Amino acid sequence: QVQLQESGPGLVKPSQTLALTCAVSGASISGGDYWTWIRQHPGKGLEWIGYIYKSANTFYNPSLRSRIAMSIDTSKNQFSLTLDSVTAADTAIYYCARDPSRAGRGQFDFWGQGKLVTVSS
Amino acid sequence: SYELTQPPSVSVSPGQTATIACSGDDLGHRYTSWYQQKSGQSPVLVIFQDTKRPSGIPERFSGSNSGNTATLTISGTQAVDEGDYYCQAWDSTTAVVFGGGTKLTVL
């Protein structure tokens, strides 16, 4: 059974960088899956942030691309997200998820429990 | 940018069939997935590649996709099926796209 667990600060100040990590168990982060971040604004729908695949390949939501970076730590079997220059509009629950589909086109079969990140001074 | 449209809410009586539609340009030529999200919980994949059910998802969940509309059908709807349902597809410019979600009420 694949399990994912998000971690990171729950409060970030405006203009600073949001940084989250997703620890994966039950699957190798170096395998053929697409490791994904998705967020959900309070009371709203789901928004795909992007994925990282085999350490070097990334694909980001065009609307967030200029502020995002994702990376993988194979030694810890985890992947990470940073989001720069945050504003209150980035307040959301951030989920990490696995996408085992052939081309990372969305088929999120395992999700973390979600991390609420609030942007506030 | 590519968009998927869902009705905000659907109501169904217990034991009846619930149908949730998701519309998008030429959606029938894209694989669609569906997710169930109960209050305070992470989403759960219930249908992928239009019609396939992940292991552990009850047979009463089924999906179809043709033309501009994908449909999630829940046969013999139970109270436990209440929640928000999201469709999802992929577009070459927008990448992964989710519909706005449909709140299913069983009453």
Smallest CA–CA distance from A105 into chain B, residue: B90
Phi, psi of B31 (to 5 degrees): -70, 135
CA distance A36 to A55: 12
DSSP state letters, A76-116: TTEEEEEE-S--GGG-EEEEEEEE-STTSSS---EE---EE
**Element housing A49 (H / E):** strand A46-53
In the predicted structure, residue A54 carries a pLDDT above the cut 90: no
Q: Picking from A5-9, A71-75, A81-85, which range would have the lowest pLDDT averaged per residue?
A: A71-75
Contact B35 A113 (CB under 8 A): no
Q: How far is A97 from chain B (nearest CA, A)?
A: 10
Of B1, B95, B101, Cβ closest to residue A59: B95
Give residue A102's pLDDT.
84
Average pLDDT for runs of 10 along chain B of length 107: 96 98 96 97 97 97 98 98 97 91 97
Interface test with B, best of A6, A58, A59, A107 (most B CBs within 10 A): A107
**For all residues of chain A together, what is the average pLDDT?**
95
Instruction: Determine contact, residues B88/B99, Cβ cutoff 8 Å.
Output: yes
